[in-house]
Structure 1
Amino acid sequence: MTTTDPAALADRVADGELRIHELEDHADYDTAAEARRLLVERETGADLEAVADYTFDAEQADPNVDNMIGAAQVPMGVAGPVPVDGSAAEGDYYLPLATTEGALLASVNRGLSTIRSVGGATTRVTKNGMTRAPVFRVGGVAEAAEVVEWVADNVDRLREAAESTTSHGELLDVEPYVVGDSVYLRFAYDTKDAMGMNMVTIATGEACELVEEETPADLVALSGNLCSDKKPAAINAVEGRGRSVTADVLIPGDVVEDRLHTTPEAIAEANTRKNLTGSAKAGSLGFNAHAANVVAAAFLATGQDEAQVVEGANAITTMDARENDEGTTDLYASVSLASLEVGTVGGGTKLPTQAEALEILGLRGGGDPAGSNAAALAEVIAVGSLAGELSLLAALSSRHLVSAHEDLGR
């Protein structure tokens, strides 16, 4: 039975006649969302007027959320423009960032302005591969070795099985790991312009059936956490996941002094003592100042999987004071993000706000060639992260961090 009365639907859920996730079976998507809001307002006393004020059809969000009641609105700003010399990104870019942290956009924009004043930043994607690592049970180490040998001899068969499930994904490699009677196979794929987690999961499931048919291995779990998704992991810092991308810039000393109000030597020392030595003492997997700030804000703005900020912010920042031919000192600055998992198609990138943010970048949808838009997005985010690192380290080394927040009232 369908109805256009959200109050009646809320009553039916409250009476136990319907379950809250069944509302779309009895009404259109927006009516179902309104019925849930009414139910939640009755049960909790909350006023959901702002939550209800969204601008897209609720049906558009069906692939992205369950039990929808509305939308969470995060302020979005823009930083830039900045010239980017990348393997995929080329030209001037504005970077949209969604955040609730005051002063973040101002800080990133200061860094981008400094980079722009010296002609822009250079950036390259150095590795690409979205991973999924199933775990298998074997009888012991002899059977484990048998599985490892079979995999090495049959990568082409595994590739054929995996790629039979997708018209875009390509299997790049399968790396085995043995722990006692457990065998982990870390599959890595080129997922083109998609972030690709669903793609690689389906493809790996097909390949696992072949492994079970041809070896003594029994699949225990399609993900054995050697992938490793949405968790801090050294394997991602070393081997990469998604796109590994580095950005760098060389800034003359006088520009550092004029724009950042400090010196190359002071920034380099702050980076060494804070980001390198301090992070090592803390046992950190990331050796950076606040790469997560830019990664998270860019992810929210452009519709990425926000939980993957865990891996995306796994970055190393380097700062080096370099003497030039004129006998003065320049600042070499870089940031290397080992596992930045981004896409420009699928997932949250199809939602209207996020699609518009990708349009700001000129990177909405699939690229030509395939994969170029996602690679360009990774490169622009890396430059934004570099700008954030420059600005914060300059504020710390000049002792302006507190005053900057006070001046901005945040």
Structure 2
Amino acid sequence: MTDPSALADRVRDGELRLHELEAHADHETAAAARRELLEAETGADLSTVGEYAFDAEAAEPNIENMIGGAQVPMGVVGPVPVDGEAADEEHYLPLATSEGALLASVNRGCSAIREAGGATARVLKNGMTRAPVFSVADVGEAATVAAWTRENVDRLAEAAESTTSHGELTDVTPYVVGDSVFLRFVYDTKDAMGMNMATIATQEACDLVEDETPASLVALSGNLCTDKKPAAINAVEGRGRTVAADVLIPHDQVEAKLKTTADAIAEANTRKNLVGSAKAGSLGFNAHAANVVAAAFLALGQDIAQVVEGSNAITTVEAREEGLYASVTIASLEVGTVGGGTKLPTQAEALDVVGVRGGGDPSGSNADALAEVIATGALAGELSLLGALASSHLSSAHEELGR
């Protein structure tokens, strides 16, 4: 077995680069060598970073220049009953975060939902997108490319789907801006989040566009997708799963669980989440949906940066005669139960807790179920925070929990 110190010395001497260590030692030793080098050069103590439970070689598809693992505390909320099209019965939801009071708050919302008989949740739309940008000579050529695209979706689908046994092209929409043509491809990627699948498939379709039209591909992603950036198109058209969850809580349970009234929560939601968000020019009209999305993504092996799209949520609240009606609709929740970080051990175990690890039967049902459970968790978080604001308990709750 190669000595980590010897490998670190070879990097210092310029004989090896950091990314080349796995070619000269096993993955565990390479990571240890990098830690040793960093400790010597920065004075940091990386002993805790080096204490991780997963196999370093198995993590190779997920990381480069590995030095260890970042450990984030993981908790669980629930159980909460979910009446979904893919999810049913009660579910626990693992959440990983460093924000104190978050899980306590979400769990309070789960308790209120549970006492009300559970939440209803549905995936309303499903489509991972990739939008390449092409250059043309003028708007005349742009119109020609757009027209050809609309008339040849079947041919584009045949080309794109030749690269995957699971992905299905469901739509292509052209957008013209002067001498630029954007084609927004939409895919059903089943139980995979599907970004890589969509990228590879779209490259094949782009080759056909270049062969058959005057268009020249400039970039495989033209930012009209839109990935990992705030974008109105995702809030309107959706990306990944568009999912909604709602609940009706009787008045006595609102007072018992949330320590306030339906009218007070409805007013807080209108003035904060709707009017306040509109005044701010926000794309998200919610209290803190991204809190639950981020914590779930960390725990469940999702692409963390896509929390940006996950914040595209609208919370509605109405004081009805029979109780408090509340809903959360997340326009662009990008989740998967196969591939990517879902293969990492702790994340795989967390998916087992939800009951959605791996491919579903039928295909896509596990990712749908995961979206429904996360949406229900986001609803619970909205209810609890709005209740705390309406009852003026937000600061005291954080103070009580020592956060």
Q: Which residue among 347, 363, 372 is the counterpart of 1:354?
A: 347
Whether 1:225 aligns to 2:223 is yes
**Identity between Structure 1 and Structure 2 (%):** 78
CA distance in 2, matches of 1:13, 1:131: 41
Whether 1:331 aligns to 2:329 is no
CA distance in 2, matches of 1:145, 1:341: 32
The match for 2:375 is 382
**TM-score normalised to the size of structure 2?**
1.00
CA offsets 1:377-405 (integer angstroms, 9 cap, x no match): 00000000000000000000000011111
- 4+ residue runs over 6 A deviation: none
CA distance in 2, matches of 1:203, 1:196: 10
CA distance in 2, matches of 1:259, 1:31: 52
CA distance in 2, matches of 1:293, 1:56: 26
Once the two structures are TM-superposed, the CA of residue 56 in structure 1 deviates from its matched residue by 1.3
Q: Superposed, which structure 2 residues align to 1:206-245 within 5 Å?
A: 206-245=204-243
Once the two structures are TM-superposed, the CA of residue 87 in structure 1 deviates from its matched residue by 1.0
Figure out how many residues of one structure are paired with residues of the other and give that number: 403
User: What's the RMSD between the two structures over aligned residues?
Assistant: 0.5
The match for 2:113 is 115
CA distance in 1, matches of 2:139, 2:18: 49
CA distance in 2, matches of 1:40, 1:334: 48
Q: Superposed, which structure 2 residues align to 1:6-405 within 5 Å?
A: 6-324=4-322, 330-405=323-398
The match for 1:327 is none
Once the two structures are TM-superposed, the CA of residue 409 in structure 1 deviates from its matched residue by 1.1
**TM-score normalised to the size of structure 1?**
0.98
CA offsets 1:306-325 (integer angstroms, 9 cap, x no match): 0000001110000000124x
Unmatched tracts of structure 2, length 5 or more: none
Once the two structures are TM-superposed, the CA of residue 60 in structure 1 deviates from its matched residue by 1.0
Once the two structures are TM-superposed, the CA of residue 209 in structure 1 deviates from its matched residue by 0.2
Q: Secondary structure at the match of 1:100?
A: coil
The match for 2:3 is 5
Once the two structures are TM-superposed, the CA of residue 152 in structure 1 deviates from its matched residue by 1.0
Once the two structures are TM-superposed, the CA of residue 243 in structure 1 deviates from its matched residue by 0.3
Letter in structure 2 aligned against 1:149:
A
CA distance in 2, matches of 1:322, 1:117: 18
Letter in structure 2 aligned against 1:355:
A
CA distance in 1, matches of 2:325, 2:141: 51
